[in-house]
Structure 1
Amino acid sequence: MKVHDFHDGNRQLQDKFGTRKLADNLAKRATETLGDDERKFIEGANMFFLATCDDRGLPTCSYKGGEPGFVRVVDEGSIAFPNYDGNGKYQSMGNLLQNPNVGLLFIDFEGQLRLRLQGEASIDENDPLLAEYHEAQFIVRVKVTEAYKNCPRYIHMYKLIKKSEYVPHLGHDTPQPEWKKSAELYE
């Protein structure tokens, strides 16, 4: 099942607002493969949003950040990215163990562009790419089921002011955030 296999709810609203033909034509632009433009966009990104659901259908959405290139296009049908130390709840990553379906949203706020990916994810603590990511806990691989550029109309233009000091990179020990130093969190 793909996002563009529209269900009754999609069709109900498309018909109500007169967008069924538009939706059908846009659906034809979705692909299962990543070309050179998508590769460049994804591998140039320093962040993306990851949507997951648990086995009960309860969703969560996470911001994933890193240095440009931290998400790698492995081949035309898959991507990989590291999981770094976070808040310790493993909501998104734990969801992948129950339900592999994911949605990823890549946004270039300076260029006002966005790309959506849908896919099936897996986690591997022994992935060969793991050695290439400083301080990564494991690698997430996503088999792309749909990729499509998305309307940039409502993207606000932002400029990067400062990179996060907490993004892991080689030759630098990542500092622990102050909130994680609280002893009461570990009692």
Structure 2
Amino acid sequence: MDGVLDRYREPSQLVQDKVIDHLDRHCSAFIALSPFATLSTADAGGWPDVSPRGGDPGFVRVLDERRLAVPDRPGNNRIDSLRNVAANPRVALLFLVPGIEETLRVFGTAGTVAADDLDVDLTEFGRAPRSVLVVHVTKAYFQCAKAVMRSGLWDPERRVERSAFAPMREVFGDHCRLATPLPDDAVMRADLAQDL
């Protein structure tokens, strides 16, 4: 690292000033449009984890300018994020909105509560979440569009055909060294759709 950081210029005043300590109306509006976010946590030793979260637009609810409610939906039951938050409450979220190239970054501390501990209906796909992560916001800001522009993430011409990558039955079979093959991807996807 010696000398590498010297290659970067100081961030502009605008880049420094855009960091706020709460959710303003623009942050709240962006979160209301977002159907997808990543949740970053770290364990007690500082080892990081990042987890995808998704739902209908606005699935993460703004409770007020300093608090967010992130519902925990059925998943693989590893509950890595929840275990991490129990040991180290620092979290970060990155919100994406299809068609908008800017992203929203939110940082804070979190704790887990039962869904009925909050006075807000987080029912989605016909069921309440198993638990809710309440994030106490300490920092929020919009990230410029460059990364999404470079990636062409929302460009339909750059969409990857599913056939370009191995079927997940093959991937999981190889990763887990399974002796018995898994069902084909259509069956696995149908099973997943039953438990959203």
Pair in the same fold by TM > 0.5:
yes
Once the two structures are superposed, the pairs formed by residues 116-155 of structure 1 within 5 Å of their partners are: 116-125=105-114, 126-129=116-119, 131-133=121-123, 134-155=127-148
Give, in angstroms, the shift of residue 135 of structure 1. 3.4
Stretch moving more, 104-113 or 88-97: 104-113
Give, in angstroms, the shift of residue 69 of structure 1. 1.8
**The one of 46, 49, 74 aligned to 1:57:** 46
3-state SS of paired residue (2:49): strand
Larger Rg over CA atoms:
2
Match of residue 163 from structure 2 = none
**The one of 96, 116, 119 aligned to 2:85:** 96
Unaligned runs of 5+ in 1: 1-8, 162-174, 181-187
Q: Which letter does structure 1 place at the counterpart of 2:133?
A: V
3-state SS of paired residue (1:96): helix
Unaligned runs of 5+ in 2: 160-189
- CA deviation string 1:147-181 (max 9, x = no partner): 011121120232799xxxxxxxxxxxxx7439x9x
Give, in angstroms, the shift of residue 99 of structure 1. 0.5
Question: TM-score of the superposition, structure 1-length normalised?
Answer: 0.73
- CA deviation string 1:21-76 (max 9, x = no partner): x1665233201111111111001111100110000111110000011121111111
Q: Which runs of 4+ in 1 moved over 3 A?
A: 129-132
Q: Is the 8 A contact 1:51 1:62 kept in 2?
A: yes
Supply the RMSD in Å over aligned alpha carbons: 2.7
Match of residue 36 from structure 1 = 25
Judged with a 3 Å threshold, the aligned counterparts in structure 2 of structure 1 residues 91 and 24 are, in CA distance, closer, same or farther, namely farther
* CA distance in structure 2 between the partners assigned to 1:78 and 1:159 by the alignment: 33
> Greater helix percent: which structure?
2
Match of residue 192 from structure 2 = 177
Judged with a 3 Å threshold, the aligned counterparts in structure 2 of structure 1 residues 23 and 145 are, in CA distance, closer, same or farther, namely farther
Match of residue 115 from structure 1 = 104
Q: Percent identity at matched positions? A: 27
Between the two proteins, the alignment pairs up a number of residues equal to 155
Question: TM-score of the superposition, structure 2-length normalised?
Answer: 0.70
* CA distance in structure 2 between the partners assigned to 1:89 and 1:55 by the alignment: 17
- CA deviation string 1:3-37 (max 9, x = no partner): xxxxxx8xx654x12322x1665233201111111
Q: Is the 8 A contact 2:104 2:143 kept in 1?
A: yes
